[in-house]
């Protein structure tokens, strides 16, 4: 594990200023527990991973909540979050200890951050998901060599919109999750769907609802379909719809501003932009296949042909991303496979009946028939 001095994480506050901001500022974050502890031993600030800091001179809690309530605020799965200890130097020379977060679930924090680009302070740095920790905790993580948040005993709690010490709104999943295991992951993902539907529209009732959610954890038995969900089966269904299971891989040009004249590739009908994006989002893929992110059209197709197995890896990782955003619902996966993450969110914002979309129906049908 390497520890670098990331210049792009320009958190220039001194410890005192950082503490003051944490006590008076407004931010959306995932509260974090590290080894069961909730607060830093030095400053007493709760451990958290910030999604967005807001400028209270112009941003109101309802502005932040309006955007947050549209997003799938599922806490990252600690098993899917990779760690990189780093240090930051403030203007007065004070060293802040941070744990940078990597991997697809950390990338979702980055995506959520981007959804608030019209709010908050003007950013002259590149946002990177991280947790600020006290030195003993940082040392412990460095010395233990833990690679994932799960190994380091880090747990991400449901997102909260905080104004100083006050929790303005909580984005707690509604489904009670059993501790550990895959079932836990499935329930958390299903919870995000419920959260979308039940998004609190009125900030006035948010605090009341937040308090209610905090004191009660309504148990919901996972549906039969959710417990039976299989990502492998989902990929087979997608391959069946996209290429008759790999038999017809001559795809038409994608069209539009993003895809232009580029054609989808292979049995899963992966669009080149999706391939490039997926490789770029995963450090392991990026380290090995980073050059593919610069390739276009036929050159990218040739690269995929020259690297057998990469198609399956990209499809699996892309599916995982869609599952994280939209839950393990075959129809939603089918829709988002065609329309992308942004397109699906946009459709949902505009109350489009995505379940009735032809691609969603075909994928769902193929999935249910086990094709």
Partner 1 sequence: MNITPNEIDTIEEAGILEGRPVKLIRTKGGFWIAISRLSGKTQEEAIAAGSHPAIVKYDLEKRFPKFQPVMMKSAYFSDNAVVEKHSHFLSEDLRKSGHDIYSVQEGSEVNFHITKHSLKVASVGGTMEKNFLVINNINIAKEFSRGMAGAAVEKAVGCSAGLKFNKK
Q: What are phi and psi of 26, to 5 degrees?
A: -125, 135
Q: How far is the CB of 306 from partner 1 (least distance, A)?
A: 6
Angle, in degrees to the nearest 10, between helices 330-349 and 310-326: 60
Strand ranges for 151-265 from DSSP E: 154-156, 159-163, 166-171
Q: Which is nearer to partner 1, 225 or 305 (CB)?
A: 305
Q: Which is nearer to partner 1, 20 or 291 (CB)?
A: 291
Q: How far apart are CA 96 and CA 92, in angstroms?
A: 11
Q: Which tokens belong to 113?
A: 């951050």
Q: How far is the CB of 303 from partner 1 (least distance, A)?
A: 4
Q: How far is the CB of 278 from partner 1 (least distance, A)?
A: 18
Neighbours of 341 (CB within 10 A): 19
Q: How far is the CB of 257 from partner 1 (least distance, A)?
A: 25
Q: How far is the CB of 301 from partner 1 (least distance, A)?
A: 8
Q: Which is nearer to partner 1, 181 or 297 (CB)?
A: 297
Q: How far is the CB of 250 from partner 1 (least distance, A)?
A: 13
In DSSP notation, 194-212 reads HHHHT----HHHHHHHHHH
Tallying the residues shown for the chain, one arrives at 371
Q: Which is nearer to partner 1, 195 or 300 (CB)?
A: 300
Q: Which tokens belong to 240?
A: 């069946």
Q: How far apart are CA 159 and CA 188, in angstroms?
A: 13
Q: How far is the CB of 48 from partner 1 (least distance, A)?
A: 36
Q: How far apart are CA 50 and CA 232, in angstroms?
A: 33
**Residues found near partner 1 in the complex (CB under 8 A):** 291, 294-295, 298-300, 302-303, 305-306
Cβ-Cβ contacts under 8 Å for 210 (sequence gap 6 or more): 167, 168, 169, 170, 172
Q: How far apart are CA 348 and CA 335, in angstroms?
A: 11
Q: How far apart are CA 239 and CA 266, in angstroms?
A: 9
Q: Which is nearer to partner 1, 264 or 310 (CB)?
A: 310
Q: Which is nearer to partner 1, 128 or 300 (CB)?
A: 300
Q: Which is nearer to partner 1, 23 or 299 (CB)?
A: 299
């Amino acid at each position: 594990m390497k520890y670098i001095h990331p210049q792009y994480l320009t958190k220039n506050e001194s410890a005192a200023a950082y503490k003051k901001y944490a006590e008076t500022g407004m931010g959306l974050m995932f509260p974090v527990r590290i080894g069961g502890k909730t607060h830093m031993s030095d400053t007493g600030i709760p451990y958290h991973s910030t999604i967005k800091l807001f400028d209270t001179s112009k941003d109101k809690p309802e502005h932040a909540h309006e955007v947050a309530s549209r997003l799938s605020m599922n806490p990252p799965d600690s098993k899917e979050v990779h760690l990189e200890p780093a240090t930051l130097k403030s203007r007065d020379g004070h060293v802040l200890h941070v744990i940078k977060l990597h991997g697809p679930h950390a990338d979702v924090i980055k995506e959520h951050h981007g959804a608030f680009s019209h709010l908050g302070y003007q950013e002259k740095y590149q946002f990177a998901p991280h947790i600020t920790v006290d030195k003993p905790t940082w040392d412990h993580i460095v010395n233990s060599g833990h690679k994932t948040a799960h190994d380091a005993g880090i747990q991400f709690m449901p997102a909260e919109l905080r104004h100083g010490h006050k929790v303005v709104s909580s984005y707690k999943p509604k489904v009670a999750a059993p501790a550990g295991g895959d079932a836990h992951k499935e329930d958390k993902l299903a919870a995000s769907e419920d959260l979308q539907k039940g998004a609190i529209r009125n900030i006035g009732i948010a605090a009341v609802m937040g308090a209610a959610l905090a004191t009660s954890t309504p148990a919901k038995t996972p549906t039969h379909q959710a417990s039976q969900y299989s990502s492998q089966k989902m990929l087979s269904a997608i391959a069946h719809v996209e290429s008759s299971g790999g038999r017809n891989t001559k795809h038409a040009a994608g069209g539009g501003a993003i895809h232009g004249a580029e054609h989808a590739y292979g049995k899963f009908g992966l669009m080149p932009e999706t391939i490039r994006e997926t490789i770029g989002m995963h450090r392991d893929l990026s380290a090995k296949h980073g050059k593919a992110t610069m390739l276009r059209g036929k050159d990218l197709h040739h690269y995929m042909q020259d690297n057998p197995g990469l198609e399956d890896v990209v499809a699996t990782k892309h599916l995982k991303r869609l599952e994280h955003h939209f839950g393990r619902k075959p129809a939603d996966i089918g829709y988002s496979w065609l329309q992308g993450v942004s397109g699906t969110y946009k459709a949902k914002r505009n109350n489009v009946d995505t379940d009735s979309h032809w691609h969603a129906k075909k994928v769902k049908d193929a999935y249910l028939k086990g094709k």
